Amino acid sequence: MRVGLVCPYSLDVPGGVQNHVRDLAQVLTARGHHVGVLAPGDDDVAHPGHITVVGRAVPVRYNGSVARLAFGPRVAARTAKWLREGEFDLLHVHEPLSPSVSLIALWAADVPVVATCHSANLRSRTLSSLAGVLRPTIEKISARIAVSESARAPLVEHLGGEPMMIPNGLFCASFTQAMPVERWRSPGPTIAFLGRTDEPRKGLDVLLQALPAIVECHPTARLLVAGHGDVDVSQAPAAVRGHLEVLGQLTDVDRARLLSSAHVYVAPQIGGESFGMVLVEAMAAGVPVVASDLPAFRSVLGDGAHGVLFPVGEPAACADAVSHLLRDTNTRQRLRSSAATAVLRYDWSRVIGDIEAVYETVLPPHETADTSL
């Protein structure tokens, strides 16, 4: 079938939604579908043939954080052109409740639409003051998908109904088969942190505060910090600066190799996480996970069955959890094997089946019959 995917964020910038759309396009194409992707982006930058850009995204404050989005009459005109020329059987928009090209495509669509909500929320008062524009637009969504419980809540609150839960997909094999790197493994034990180091909500500070207590139990322990942004080493307690290694931003391959090398992965985020894909990546790579007890993380970790949870933002509890886990080989082994099974539900082989089933249900019967793949 001919599927049009709409991404609200520029594909040139990494991010959970962008990665999902990019991978979904790849997997759908591999399965014989014709896929077109619409996203914000620079006209000057070369993009693969199936990607159409609608113009540069501008930073806007929406929903309490700054997002780079594209909108306006010119974007609307280019979206309409893309829809016309794409001759899609079906449109799959991501994050339709954001002021973005996704909402514009939904508004202009005249084919069945599947919508996936990742995290964007909508104020009730915004919805009521804009009901005349938004309600008829949102009504066009034939199937609603939420990637997690926290993404599902606003959908139910504003639109009612029963959205389906289909998580973001991951190519698990690229993590299970990642080769460990010796210098990231020994001298051990090594603790991995992944994520932007300059965003307080990623919680690096919590982990740095926990490090002295960990080093006290495990004098050879090292913390490996990977991710975009500078690390002010001086903010780490002086006694443990020698136990801290800043790796900077890693390639996707090296991320996977870091995870498969480490003895424990710590996710000390203090909020704002709606999914927790990096936890799934760690689980796939076979590294035991210690994570703050956020709803999204608790859900990925099966209430603690596939990893250890500690109270959000508490360095002492974090240090305890890590120290215990590093000492306890049996528990690490148990977590590894239960995680290995749990991540299968996020593997693209599984996720794509769920998504295709939604597509087929949404399409009028004769169209499904037409697609002889």
Partner 1 sequence: MSEGVALAAVLAGAAVLMALVGVAWLAWTANRLDKLHLRCAAAKATLDEAAIRRSLAAQEIAASGDLGDPASALLVSDAATATQEPAPADRWRAESDLTAALLLVELPDSGPRVASLADAARRLMIARRIHNDVVASTLALRGRRRVRWFRLAGGATAPSMAVFDDREPTGTQGSC
Identify which of residues 133 and 233 has a Cβ nearer to partner 1 in the complex.
133
CB 117, min distance to partner 1, A: 14
Tell me the three state secondary structure of residue 315: helix
The helix (run of H) or strand (run of E) holding residue 372 is none
How many helices (H) and strands (E) would you count in the chain? 15, 15
Identify which of residues 40 and 307 has a Cβ nearer to partner 1 in the complex.
40
CB 102, min distance to partner 1, A: 8
CB 245, min distance to partner 1, A: 38
Question: CB-based contacts of 274: which residues, under 8 Å, 6+ apart?
Answer: 118, 119, 147, 148, 150, 151, 296
Identify which of residues 73 and 187 has a Cβ nearer to partner 1 in the complex.
73
CB 125, min distance to partner 1, A: 5
Identify which of residues 26 and 137 has a Cβ nearer to partner 1 in the complex.
137
Identify which of residues 5 and 105 has a Cβ nearer to partner 1 in the complex.
105
Tell me the three state secondary structure of residue 330: helix
Identify which of residues 134 and 236 has a Cβ nearer to partner 1 in the complex.
134
Pairing of strands 58-62, 65-69: antiparallel
Q: Which residues bind partner 1 (CB under 8 A)?
A: 58, 60-63, 69, 71-73, 75-76, 98-101, 103-104, 107, 122-123, 125-126, 129-134, 137
Q: Which residues of 165-177 are buried (b: 16+ CB within 10 A; e: fewer)?
A: ebbbbbbbeebbe
Identify which of residues 125 and 366 has a Cβ nearer to partner 1 in the complex.
125
Identify which of residues 139 and 216 has a Cβ nearer to partner 1 in the complex.
139
CB 10, min distance to partner 1, A: 15
CB 93, min distance to partner 1, A: 12
- The residue whose two tokens read 């480490």 is 262
Counting Cβ atoms within 10 Å, is residue 298 exposed (0-12), middle (13-18) or buried (19+)? middle
CB 136, min distance to partner 1, A: 10
- Report the distance separating Cα 241 and Cα 187, nearest Å: 16
Tell me the three state secondary structure of residue 142: strand
CB 96, min distance to partner 1, A: 10
Strand partners, 10: none
Strand partners, 37: 5, 51
CB 60, min distance to partner 1, A: 6
Starting at the edge strand found earlier in the chain, the sheet holding 90-94 runs: 51-53, 34-39, 2-6, 90-94, 113-117, 141-146, 164-165
CB 75, min distance to partner 1, A: 7
Are 323 and 207 contacting, i.e. CB atoms less than 8 angstroms apart? no
Counting Cβ atoms within 10 Å, is residue 305 exposed (0-12), middle (13-18) or buried (19+)? exposed
Are 258 and 184 contacting, i.e. CB atoms less than 8 angstroms apart? yes
Identify which of residues 132 and 161 has a Cβ nearer to partner 1 in the complex.
132
Identify which of residues 35 and 103 has a Cβ nearer to partner 1 in the complex.
103
Question: CB-based contacts of 112: which residues, under 8 Å, 6+ apart?
Answer: 89, 90, 91, 142, 362, 363, 364
